[in-house]
Chains A and B, each alone.
Chain A
Amino acid sequence: MFSEPKILGFCCNWCCYGGADTAGTARMQYPPNVRVLRVMCSGRINPAMVLKAFKEGADGVFVGGCHMGDCHYDAGNYKWNRRAKLIEDLLPEFGIPKKRFRFEWISASEGEKFQKTMEEFTDTIKSLGPLHRSFPKMSNKSPMC
């Protein structure tokens, strides 16, 4: 049974990370599998970082930013939104179902939304099972004589 998926969550400092905080202070339980990584803005995330997370063994990657119009840096989340679409197209080309990647807009006050999103996403990843990648490549070795 696959019970402990590894999920990496990039959360922007001004909204989503606050949401995680709110969830925490209100003692709303969310799955411990999610490792939250604080970034200043979702506009800071580029597709390569998500790819790297999968390479390093994440079973799922989540990105959370401010609601449209609320980005602390004005348009960071618009930029991120456009990049997120690229990632959705890119992942399947490397054998990673796009369901393993999710992004959401969560404000600092939305502790509950944060909790719910994390639960949902964790369930999705659990149902998908661990990410088996065909990398690194091994040769077909003949036994030592």
Chain B
Amino acid sequence: MMKVAHTICPSCSVGCGVNLIIKDNEAVGTYPYKRHPLNEGKTCRKGRECFKIVMENRLKEPLLRGNGLKQSSWDAALDAVVSQIKLHPAPEVGIIISGKCTNEEYETLKKFSKNLGVENIGCHTGSVPSVDLGTATLDDVENSEFILIIGDVIKETPLLGRWIILAKENGAEIFAIDKPDETLTGVNSHQYQQVESISSIIDEIDSTVLEKLSSQSTVIISNLENGDNFEKLLTFFNQYDTKIIPVFQDCNSRGAMNILPILSDDDLSDLLEKIKVLYVVGDDPASIMIESMKNLDFIISQGCMVNETTSISDVVLPGSCWAEKTGSLTNTTGETQEISKILEPPGNALDDQNIITKIAEKMGLEL
């Protein structure tokens, strides 16, 4: 049994189409998806190797902490979750989710928290703040006369970079700004400006560059180490009559910010201080702030992979990876694309929306 099935690459925020090669319910490779308008069968290495995510470090059974984490039944695991949530008043409960889940999961989780009265909820996106702006489309990039790039877009998100190459072939002028001596984007631009730090861009930027910003230009902002910079740059360039593309980190960061509050690293650590019970969906906060998690009474971790957070959790609920669920993802230019379930989750893992619904049912909540 072999089949080739369409999906969207989950590895960055560009949203390329890829075909997974599936043999006996196992993802064994990828195959070019040439019909996909965004990337026409072209992908970077992460895209071509995304099938590996399906197999990597998967959680297959619910786990419950006794003397260490032990395999348990779904019922026992969910009962533990429910009793702990019930034991704490809503303000002591926090819910966080990553930018890698589907829009439908965000909606379901939003309803769940609302009905539960939990206000400490958000999507953790690292450095990127919530933005609410109309961004340029990829066609806009291709048809731009001038493109200003902050960060190494061609290297980090090559399939967005491809549209810059196409624009250049169309005669666009390309100007790049970044910190290193040389970058791949810089080498492929007409001009490269090296800056001391991203925060100084606004002061240092070549004034002739700003004169070139017009409705026929696009500014692409990527690869920033902190949210303040990102916000400053967005505000700065928003004064000009130019199109903008912010490059988010995860495959559905953009979708998450349409539905849920966005948590920066600081916001997340504030949230952790306020609560006693944490319910994590598809995320790994322990990998960046394990210290702030020491005061928690109870951690519930739901997701498809073993990570640092699952190892310190009290209950682990095995969820599905992107290829095992149906829903939609919104890419960095704001385009929403459907994905469908093309694989069965392994072992006793379940669909994530289904898990949230089960918890709600046991809590006696309507969703």
Contacts and interface: CB of A to CB of B under 8 A. Distances in A.
Instruction: Decide whether A and B are members of one complex.
Output: yes
Interface of A: 137-142, 144-145
Q: Is the interface of A mostly helix, strand, loop or mixed?
A: loop
Interface centre among A138, A139, A144, A145 (most CB of B within 10 A): A139
A141 B191 CA distance: 6
Contacts of A140: 189-192
A67 to B, nearest CB: 47
A137 B183 CA distance: 10
Interface string B188-217: 011111110000000011100000000000
Nearest to A143: B193
Given A144-B195, A145-B193, 20 more contacts: A138-B187, A139-B176, A139-B182, A139-B183, A139-B186, A139-B187, A139-B189, A140-B190, A140-B191, A140-B192, A141-B186, A141-B193, A141-B194, A142-B192, A144-B193, A144-B194, A144-B204, A145-B204, A145-B205, A145-B206
B179 to A, nearest CB: 12
B189 A142 contact: no
21 contacts: A137-B187, A138-B182, A139-B176, A139-B182, A139-B183, A139-B186, A139-B187, A140-B190, A140-B191, A140-B192, A141-B191, A141-B192, A141-B193, A141-B194, A142-B191, A142-B192, A142-B193, A144-B195, A144-B204, A145-B193, A145-B204
Contacts of A137: 187
A40 B183 CA distance: 42
A119 B194 CA distance: 47
A142 B183 contact: no
Interface residues of B, number: 15
A36 B4 CA distance: 53
A99 B176 CA distance: 39
Nearest to B185: A139
A25 to B, nearest CB: 50
A140 B190 CA distance: 6
Nearest to B183: A139
Contacts of B176: 139
Contacts of A145: 193, 204-206
A135 to B, nearest CB: 11
B120 to A, nearest CB: 44
A55 B328 CA distance: 47
Residue with the greatest number of chain B CB neighbours at <10 A, chosen from A138, A141, A142, A144: A142
A141 B206 CA distance: 12
Contacts of B205: 145
A144 B178 CA distance: 12
Contacts of B204: 144-145
Contacts of A144: 193-195, 204
B50 to A, nearest CB: 29
A-B pairs with lowest CB-CB distance, top 8: A139-B192, A139-B186, A142-B193, A139-B187, A137-B187, A145-B204, A142-B191, A141-B192
A145 B201 CA distance: 10
Nearest to B182: A139
A142 B187 contact: no
A142 to B, nearest CB: 5
